[in-house]
């Protein structure tokens, strides 16, 4: 393949091939090799985490959020699921000539509101304007840093057979909302993105539950892709129970009509937790009382194996879930 395809940006199989075959080829180092949501490293003041992301979502404004809120939440959540306490963010704006200043102010105000809720500050930024037609309205790149508590040890090396898999709520809302808004499917009243800063919810869980092994946020590629990446990273199997997966009725119905699988749709306010079984009850109690965990569920278990993800159906059958492969839904974040 000699050219970049849209599927190279969907977070699935082709994205993995691009990262492994090109970026790791030239940028290879122990921190990048982990391919985590954020890189955790030692610094003179303690351990820190750092992450960066570019946001090109289309449309810019959608039910439940906009590109500005998405940019702040996406970066905060990458830090939070790595165990870090987000502190500072930088923001780079690339703007197409002719973009309405009123819309730019709405985006910036939305970013400020999300930062206030999360307790982080935007401390540096950059602005570039390109000629009309050289860009689609507005792209934002955010970089975040956070502090990692002492002795925190999350990662692929921690899960063991018997650990439990939790998720903090309904799956697929963001991806389907963006598709409905972009294609004018007339579902706007029924769907809204789950875009939200998760750091306060995760901090609460982290403070009271000592048995957390690792977390992942469920963005591009959805639950299925994240579960497959975790299974491969751990060298263990994950068994998910289909009947236990929280999926809103509106998402389930629209996905069935459109022929989409909610397990591969993007989320922007959902995370997966792998936790010691002795801590599950406490974790659920905490999550269900938090702002973004009221619909938390146990959805599966870690098992001995070799990196596969199995979905147990209500009728007793089993499906194998792999990485997202070529889903035609670009620019969802």
Which CATH number does the domain housing residue 83 bear?
A: 3.30.1330.10
DSSP annotation string for 113-169: HHHHHHT-EEEEEEEEEE-TTSSSSEEEEEEEEEEPPTT---STTS--TT-EEEE-S
> Sorting pLDDT into bands at 50, 70 and 90, what band is 117?
very high
> Sorting pLDDT into bands at 50, 70 and 90, what band is 208?
very high
216 and 309 share one domain = yes
Report if residue 109 sits inside a domain.
yes
Q: Are 215 and 296 in contact (CB under 8 A)?
A: no
Domain final residue, candidates 147, 182, 203: 147
CATH code (residue 245): 3.90.650.10
171 and 314 share one domain = yes
171 and 243 share one domain = yes
What pLDDT digit, counting tens, does each position of 9-55 carry?
778 898 899 999 999 999 988 888 888 888 988 887 789 999 999 99
Is a pLDDT exceeding 90 seen at residue 179? yes
The β-bridge partners of 127 are: 93
Domain extent, residue 62, equals 36-147
Report if residue 22 sits inside a domain.
no
| Confidence at residue 1, expressed as pLDDT on a 0 to 100 scale | 67
Question: Which whole-number Å values give the CA distances from 292 to 204, 246, 320, in the listed order?
Answer: 11, 13, 29
50 and 93 share one domain = yes
131 and 197 share one domain = no
Please measure the distance between the N-terminal and C-terminal CA atoms of the chain and give it in whole angstroms.
25
- The C-alpha atoms of residue 206 and residue 209 are separated, in whole angstroms, by 5
| Confidence at residue 185, expressed as pLDDT on a 0 to 100 scale | 82
What pLDDT digit, counting tens, does each position of 256-271 carry?
999 999 999 999 999 9
The tally of domains found in the chain comes to 2
Tokens coding 119: 């307790």
CA dihedral 144, 150, 151, 154 (to 10 degrees): -10
Average pLDDT rounded to a whole number, residues 91-112 = 96
- The C-alpha atoms of residue 182 and residue 173 are separated, in whole angstroms, by 14
Q: Is 27 exposed, middle or buried (0-12, 13-18, 19+ CB in 10 A)?
A: exposed
Query: What percent of the chain is modeled with pLDDT above 90?
Result: 80
128 and 171 share one domain = no
Least confident range of 57-66, 106-115, 168-177, 317-326: 317-326
Is a pLDDT exceeding 90 seen at residue 98? yes
Report if residue 155 sits inside a domain.
no
128 and 231 share one domain = no
Report if residue 15 sits inside a domain.
no
- The C-alpha atoms of residue 307 and residue 36 are separated, in whole angstroms, by 17
Is a pLDDT exceeding 90 seen at residue 141? yes
130 and 276 share one domain = no
Report if residue 278 sits inside a domain.
yes
Q: Is 20 exposed, middle or buried (0-12, 13-18, 19+ CB in 10 A)?
A: exposed
Domain final residue, candidates 118, 147, 176: 147
188 and 313 share one domain = yes
Report if residue 175 sits inside a domain.
yes
Q: Are 16 and 323 in contact (CB under 8 A)?
A: yes
* 6 vs 57, higher pLDDT: 57
What is the average pLDDT score of the chain? 94
- The C-alpha atoms of residue 333 and residue 78 are separated, in whole angstroms, by 13
Tokens coding 213: 């092994």
| Confidence at residue 129, expressed as pLDDT on a 0 to 100 scale | 92
The residues near 53 (Cβ < 8 Å, ≥ 6 apart) are: 71, 74, 75, 78, 141, 142, 333
Report if residue 101 sits inside a domain.
yes
265 and 127 share one domain = no
79 and 130 share one domain = yes
- The C-alpha atoms of residue 236 and residue 247 are separated, in whole angstroms, by 26
Is a pLDDT exceeding 80 seen at residue 327? no
* 186 vs 126, higher pLDDT: 126
Report if residue 234 sits inside a domain.
yes
What pLDDT digit, counting tens, does each position of 210-253 carry?
999 999 999 999 999 999 999 999 999 999 999 999 999 999 99
Sheet architecture: strand order including 121-130: 39-43, 46-55, 138-147, 85-96, 121-130
- Work out the number of other CB atoms within 10 angstroms of the CB of residue 211: 17
129 and 184 share one domain = no
């Amino acid at each position: 393949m000699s050219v970049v395809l849209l599927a190279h940006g969907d977070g699935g199989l082709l994205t993995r091939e691009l990262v492994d075959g090109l970026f790791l080829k030239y940028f290879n180092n122990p921190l990048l090799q982990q391919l985590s949501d954020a890189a955790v490293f030692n610094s003179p003041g303690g351990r820190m985490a750092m992450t960066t992301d570019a946001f090109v979502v289309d449309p810019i404004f959608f039910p439940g959020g906009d590109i500005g809120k998405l940019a702040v939440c996406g970066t905060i959540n990458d830090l939070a699921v790595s165990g870090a306490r987000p502190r500072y963010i930088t923001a780079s704006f690339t703007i197409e000539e002719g973009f309405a200043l009123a819309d730019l102010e709405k985006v910036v105000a939305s970013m400020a509101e999300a930062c206030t809720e999360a307790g982080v500050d935007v401390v540096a930024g950059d602005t570039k304007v390109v000629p009309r037609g050289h860009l689609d309205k507005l792209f934002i790149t955010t970089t975040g840093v956070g502090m990692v508590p002492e002795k925190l040890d999350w990662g692929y090396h921690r899960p063991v057979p018997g650990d439990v898999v939790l998720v903090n709520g309904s799956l697929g809302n963001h991806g389907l909302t963006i598709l409905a808004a972009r294609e004018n499917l007339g579902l706007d009243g029924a769907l809204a993105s789950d875009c939200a800063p998760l750091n306060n919810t995760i901090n609460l869980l982290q403070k009271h539950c000592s048995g957390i092994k690792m977390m992942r946020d469920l963005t591009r590629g959805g639950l299925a892709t994240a579960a497959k990446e975790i299974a491969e990273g751990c060298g263990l199997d994950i068994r998910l129970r289909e009947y236990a997966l929280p999926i809103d009725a509106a998402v389930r119905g629209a996905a069935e009509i459109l022929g989409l699988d909610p397990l591969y749709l993007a989320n922007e306010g959902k995370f997966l937790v792998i936790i010691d079984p002795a801590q599950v009850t406490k974790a659920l109690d905490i999550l269900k009382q938090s702002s973004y965990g009221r619909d938390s569920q146990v959805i599966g278990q870690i098992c001995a194996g070799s990196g596969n993800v199995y979905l147990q159906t209500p009728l007793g059958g089993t499906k194998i879930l792999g990485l997202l492969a070529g889903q035609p839904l670009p620019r969802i974040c």
